[in-house]
Amino acid sequence: MRFAGMTIFVTGGAGFIGSAVIRHLLADTSARVINIDKLTYAANLASLPGAASHPRYAFEKQCICDGAGLRRLFDLYTPDAVMNLAAESHVDRSIDGPAEFVQTNVLGTFTLLQEALRYWRTLPPANRARFRFLHISTDEVFGSLGAEGLFTEETAYAPNSPYSASKASSDHLVRAWRETYELPTLLTNCSNNYGPYQFPEKLIPHMIIRGLANESLPVYGDGKNVRDWLYVEDHAKALTLVLERGSVGETYNVGGSSERSNLEVVECICDELDRIAPASDPRRSLVTFVKDRPGHDRRYAIDVGKIERELGWHAEEDFTSGLVKTVRWFCGNREWWKDILNRGYQHARIGLG
Ligand code: NAD
């Protein structure tokens, strides 16, 4: 069985992608999983049904900016790997409040690297050779593409938002800790994810929830910004594969090879909602165009050749199958997102600079 006898730290495990990684690790591998999460507004332990009583799972409420707290956890659990998914992740929020992004994404990653290095140096040689630090990042670090071309692992960094700049900084720290201190790090840069348990502020859940209530569907700018959408469970599987088989010091791009404009995404959601829960008028009539996000990157698209060739990973869902699953999940799991709305989260337009 994969990861037999191994303990894996998953930071940000109460978030959208981290929880998918933990569900996958518990269901499909033998790893012991320690979820390290500060529980910000974006966290939700209800995204880990059954985990609390699972014999191979533990939760630690812990900020990755707190070195002493992290040190205690390294000493207590003696992990074989760290998967770093703890982050501030919403571009619009980063425009209004960049400090939190620098704090967690840059200083938090720095602190985690320092504590991982301190711990790694104390390990016996065999454990030291086996240890891995996998940092999870975004394709947004590469900036914006024109109508043609794909991001590869060789694309130069050109981040445009406070969010992507903070992620780019953390990627550089991870690389430097490998080059300078030989900490065995790996890095992934992934395109936009979607799927079950995504926080309602992100495009796809936001539109599903508004569409279900027959509310207007606000699309930024002309709706022609293109993203390369990846179903979150495919991302989770890519990450465990990189951890297991990736070469130390390497970067792997991960994407869904499913380019869609924002307007196309919203129209697909409308059509699926019309099929599941017909309304008096087609949902497409609810689309409205609103002021664009400042610095809104036009197009992201990923060349997944390296991870497919070298690690044998392939996305199992295409955009249509993944979106149908996602819309159905949000329709069938209303308590999950209604609890978030009831906690006081209200989506107001932010990030206009
Ligand atoms: P998320 O916002 O859903 O979850 C982030 C989690 O990190 C939350 O549970 C939060 O409580 C936790 N966290 C935040 N600050 C922390 C801190 N200081 N200490 C400990 N925990 C903290 O984010 P996500 O969408 O799951 O993204 C996870 C990672 O994947 C991020 O690094 C993000 O940059 C990257 N990524 C996301 C996408 C995407 O489409 N969502 C795509 C590519 C890469």
pLDDT in tens, 192-245: 999 999 999 999 999 999 999 999 999 999 999 999 999 999 999 999 999 999
CA–centroid distance, residue 282 to ligand 1 (Å): 34
Q: What are the tens digits of pLDDT across the range 65-111?
A: 999 999 999 999 999 999 999 999 999 999 999 999 999 999 999 99
Residues near ligand 1 with C-beta < 6 Å? 11-12, 14-18, 37-40, 42-43, 63-65, 85-89, 104, 108, 136-138, 167, 190, 192-193, 199
- Report the percent of the chain where pLDDT is more than 70: 99
DSSP character for 103?
A: I
User: Which residue, chain included where needed, has tokens 């269901």?
Assistant: 27
Per-residue model confidence (pLDDT) at position 215: 97
Q: 132 has which bridge partners?
A: 81
Q: What is the CATH number of domain 7-198+229-258+300-319?
A: 3.40.50.720
Q: What is the dihedral of CA 69, 70, 75, 81, to 10 degrees?
A: 160
- Is 154 a known active-site residue? no
The strand ranges marked E within the chain are 7-11, 32-37, 57-61, 81-84, 132-138, 185-190, 193-194, 217-220, 226-228, 230-231, 251-254, 259-261, 287-290
Per-residue model confidence (pLDDT) at position 352: 79
Q: What are the tens digits of pLDDT across the range 140-149?
A: 999 999 999 9
- Is 228 a known active-site residue? no
Q: What are the tens digits of pLDDT across the range 259-284?
A: 999 999 999 999 999 999 999 999 99
Residues contacting residue 108 through CB under 8 Å, at least 6 positions apart: 63, 64, 65, 86, 87
Confidence band for 346, pLDDT divided at 50, 70 and 90: low
> For the chain, which residues make up each domain, given as ranges?
7-198+229-258+300-319
- Rounded to an integer, the average pLDDT of 181-190 is 98
- Is 140 a known active-site residue? yes
- The terminus-to-terminus CA distance of the chain in angstroms comes to 50
CA–centroid distance, residue 298 to ligand 1 (Å): 23
CA–centroid distance, residue 17 to ligand 1 (Å): 7
Nearest ligand 1 atom, CA 108? 18
